[in-house]
Amino acid sequence: MFKNNFLWGGATAANQFEGGYNLGGRGLATSDTKTNGSMNKKRKHSFLDSNGKIVYLHGSEKIPQAYQSVIDEKMYYPSHRAVDFYHRYEDDIALLAQMGFKCFRMSISWTRIYPRGNESSPNQAGLDFYDHIFDECLKYGIEPIVTLNHFDMPIYLADHQNGWLNRQTVEYFIQYCKTVFKYYRGKVKYWMTFNEINLLRGYDTLGVHEMTPARYYQALHHIFVASAKAVILGHKIDSNNQIGMMLANILTYSKTCNPRDVALELDVSRKLKYFYSDVQCRGYYPSYIVNSLKQQGITINSLEDDDNLLKNGCVDYIGFSYYNSGVVTTRKDAEMTLGNGIKMAANPYLKESEWKWPIDPIGLRISLNLLWDRYQKPLFIVENGLGANDQIAEDGKIHDEYRIDYLREHIIEMKKAVDEDGVELIGYTPWGCIDLVSAGTGEMKKRYGFIYVDMDDNGKGTLKRSCKESFYWYQKVIKSNGESLS
């Protein structure tokens, strides 16, 4: 049975949900130059080249440092309005309260607090905006769960100092953290530093224009240091703060019992996820990564105190996303599939979503046990859910029983991990509790929410909110503390 204070809720991110990209003194973020796309069409960023011509490049492509981000008025950028939480937060939070939410995971947009990222003082309008949101949540007894950095950064820092490749970005980030830790002291207790830290890549999230393995690991080191410093600072400002990491937990299976497959799975699971959680939970670089960097001829430039910072800045809990598992094999002719941006071999024992993500509820229980056994730190499932092309039926309702089935099966396995295995679990916040823009594809039709938003892939629609069948089902789940799942 879940504890009485178990945190049931839902999760969102500012650049997919908030909108108001140029309002209230907010500055441009890397997400704001990212166009829409689809399952078969990659999202791209718009830049001005050295000749003043607008070019569109995918975030993982090499982008010349001379290029500058630009917004093309002819293109659609989903983050600009998103689903307009900026203007609708009171009504949206009231709907979350109606469902019975105990918590709401959201992110603060860095550029709403420091528009360019390097100002000496914060933007008061931005501070006030989130203050109002937190007050609205607390009015209903909803605990804010706040991600400090969710897949973007100030464009100014990206274009003018190569983002996280520059050590100075650490200090700008810590200035931002210090501001929000102090301003929201007593209102926000649960924080996470970087969303899905193991999926940060390229211009989108690192602000690095021309990426190489050496540059990636250098930028990542700065992020590890920034996270550790944020944990130390957050505890100093308020000893009640609980500051966690956030991992994209993609469970990996060996395709066969061939020792070569098993050895490959070990290597993949370490480098895909455990490296990141090892550093943030144990406070040092694991030997398998130290040796790998040596073999690649990569040397990380660090400061004398960095080792102490990592050691003293370990997180209090592990927040993680779980959508799917994947299969690892040495066979070159294996059928492949895609889940959460990671290509792996297909699993014949599992069904897949419309977007070809394997559906593996038992894998959630396995993941909870693996993380608990490895770290013995409290766990928090901060993303889980089914992206589906929901349709309004002739009766005007959204019958998303497939989402109810998905969530029910995952909660059943979650309960087993708690009741039978003794895993310490803080809470559960399914992704996109109100429909929002997909981070991977920029689509709107890939919906996760309990609440439908009237908007299409091109941003057209009334933005009217409607409760799906899953809304009322999750309402019963929360009210019964996970006992009523029918």
Residue in the structure block whose two tokens are 């040092």: 284
pLDDT at 61: 84
**What is the pTM for the complete model shown?**
0.97
Dihedral over Cα of 173, 174, 179, 183: its sign:
positive
pLDDT at 308: 98
Mean pLDDT of the chain: 96
Determine the straight-line distance between the first and last CA of the chain, rounded to whole angstroms: 16
pLDDT (mean) for 384-403: 96
Instruction: Answer whether residue 337 shows pLDDT above 90.
Output: no
Length of the chain: 486
pLDDT (mean) for 29-39: 94
Distance, in Å, from the CA atom of 233 to the CA atom of 243, rounded to the nearest integer, reads 10
pLDDT at 334: 80
Q: Domain residue spans in the chain?
A: 7-26+78-480
Q: For residue 380, give the H/E element and its range.
A: strand 379-383
SS3 22: coil
Q: Which residues are annotated as catalytic?
A: 196, 383
Pair 340, 351: CB distance under 8 Å: no
Question: pLDDT tens, 182-200?
Answer: 999 999 999 999 999 999 9
pLDDT (mean) for 122-150: 98
Band (338; pLDDT cuts 50, 70, 90): confident
Band (342; pLDDT cuts 50, 70, 90): confident
Vertex 22 angle, CA 17 and 27, to 5°: 95
Pair 30, 149: CB distance under 8 Å: no
Question: pLDDT tens, 421-430?
Answer: 999 999 999 9
pLDDT (mean) for 162-167: 97
What is 399-448 written as a DSSP string? --HHHHHHHHHHHHHHHHHHHTT---EEEE--BTSB----TTT--SSSB-
Give the percent of the chain with pLDDT over 90: 93
Closest C-alpha among 158, 178, 179, 181 to residue 169: 158
Closest C-alpha among 84, 149, 78 to residue 441: 78
Question: What six digits make up the tokens of 350?
Answer: 């599992």
Band (335; pLDDT cuts 50, 70, 90): confident
pLDDT at 116: 98
| CATH fold label, 7-26+78-480 | TIM Barrel (3.20.20)
pLDDT at 369: 98
Vertex 481 angle, CA 478 and 486, to 5°: 70
Q: Dihedral of the CA atoms 122, 124, 129, 135 (nearest 10)?
A: 100
Question: pLDDT tens, 68-79?
Answer: 999 999 999 999
Alpha helices in 48-167 (DSSP H): 85-99, 110-113, 124-139, 155-161
Question: What six digits make up the tokens of 277?
Answer: 């959680």
pLDDT at 89: 98
> Helices 213-237 and 287-296: crossing angle, nearest 10°?
150
> Helices 469-479 and 401-419: crossing angle, nearest 10°?
20
Residue in the structure block whose two tokens are 């070019």: 55
Distance, in Å, from the CA atom of 350 to the CA atom of 360, rounded to the nearest integer, reads 7
pLDDT at 62: 87
Vertex 305 angle, CA 304 and 311, to 5°: 135
Question: What six digits make up the tokens of 301?
Answer: 């430039």
List C-alpha distances in Å: 448 to 11, 269, 290, 351, 428: 10, 27, 39, 18, 15
